Amino acid sequence: MKYLYFFCFLLFFIAGLNAQNSGRGFSYQAVARGSDGQVKAKEHIEIQFTLLTNAQAVTASWQETQMATTDEFGIFSMTIGKGIKSGGTVAKFTDVNFAASEFWLKVELKDKGTWQEISKTQLLSVPYAEVAGNAQPAPTGSIIAFAGQKDKVPTGWLLCDGRELSRTDNAALYAIIGTSWGQGNGSTTFRLPDLRGLFLRGVSDGRHDDDTNSRAAMYPGGNTNNNVGSFQAESFRSHNHSGTTQANGAHSHRVFTRANVGSPTLNVDALESGNLSQWAETSTDGLHTHNFTTSTVGGNETRPDNAYVNYIIKL
């Protein structure tokens, strides 16, 4: 027989900022009643919480024990993650990956030296604070597109505007990007990427013939050629246009000739002053083409459809 059970069981999640071992947790609250249904008011109880990856799991992911005293209504509250570790495969509560599995929570009461299972229920919603805590933050040096204005850049990020930063005050970022984007004053500062008005392109690393030798340093001392931080000005790929104008200009001329009487090869057209005369045609000539230049059209740059964002970098 179970000596204690929980009536009106309530499980809810909050951030527990002072949770022992972890700094986080989620709260559990219930009413303790005896097997006779009577409220266990103002009594000391010891509870064990076990997190399992499924209902049939034998090995716990996390297990802890806690002590509590019920109030006059038999209610007690605990923060799971705040107790003393009593078992489990992970070293600490923050190592539980709530996003990787649908966990079950087993609750036990210690009675006469033996743990009595009170309930085993599935966590139907994942504690948000725990999932967020297990998420990997963006690594230092990450660049992302930010849809906010430059005065709204979040803490821990900076606008990619090419400014100079102290190498000592920003040692983590300097260790990652160094002087790739500019050496600053050459001794105590370095430059951030300056991505204002630019598209980003992956380092080709030999994959494409993109004329890496034309890539220059963004700022003095920065990387060139086939390296992160190098800058390349706009350019058209080498090409040509072919075409011809319509052939035109072929023509002939009609001319008047005169010959002596007796010429056997001319067709008589008229007689003038005792000589035979005729009209004749010149050969066709004058067919030709023209070189041409198209008129200038377009704007002051070559670009695809685009929209503005602010690029920011993680410190």
- Map out the domains of the chain with their CATH numbers: 4-134 (2.60.40), 143-234+308-314 (no CATH)
pLDDT 10s digits, 183-228: 999 999 999 999 999 999 999 888 876 677 889 999 999 999 999 9
Q: What percent of the chain has pLDDT over 70?
A: 72
| Of 302 and 177, the one with more pLDDT | 177
pLDDT for position 303: 83
Q: What average pLDDT does range 102-111 have in this prediction? A: 88
pLDDT band of residue 22 (cuts 50, 70, 90) is very low
pLDDT for position 65: 96
- CA triplet 301, 303, 304: central angle to 5 degrees? 160
pLDDT exceeds 60 at position 89? yes
CA distances in angstroms from 3 to 38, 97, 105, 108, 248, listed in the order given: 11, 33, 20, 11, 111
Asked if residues 65 and 86 have their Cβ atoms less than 8 Å apart, the reply is: yes
Q: What percent of the chain has pLDDT over 90?
A: 42
SS3 of residue 248 by DSSP:
strand
pLDDT for position 2: 45
Q: What average pLDDT does range 224-252 have in this prediction? A: 80
pLDDT exceeds 80 at position 99? no
Lowest mean pLDDT among 82-96, 128-142, 290-304: 128-142
Asked if residues 37 and 50 have their Cβ atoms less than 8 Å apart, the reply is: no
Contacts of 245-249 with CB under 8 Å at 24 or more apart are 245/289, 245/290, 245/292, 247/287, 247/288, 247/289, 248/287, 248/288, 249/286, 249/287, 249/288
pLDDT 10s digits, 27-38: 888 887 766 677
Residue 275, C-beta contacts closer than 8 angstroms, at least 6 positions apart: 258, 259, 260, 261
pLDDT band of residue 130 (cuts 50, 70, 90) is low
pLDDT 10s digits, 41-78: 899 999 999 999 998 999 999 999 999 999 998 888 99
| Of 8 and 289, the one with more pLDDT | 289
What's the whole-model pTM score? 0.50
Asked if residues 108 and 83 have their Cβ atoms less than 8 Å apart, the reply is: no
Give the separation between CA 16 and CA 118, rounded to whole angstroms.
Answer: 24
> First CA to last CA across the chain, in angstroms?
59
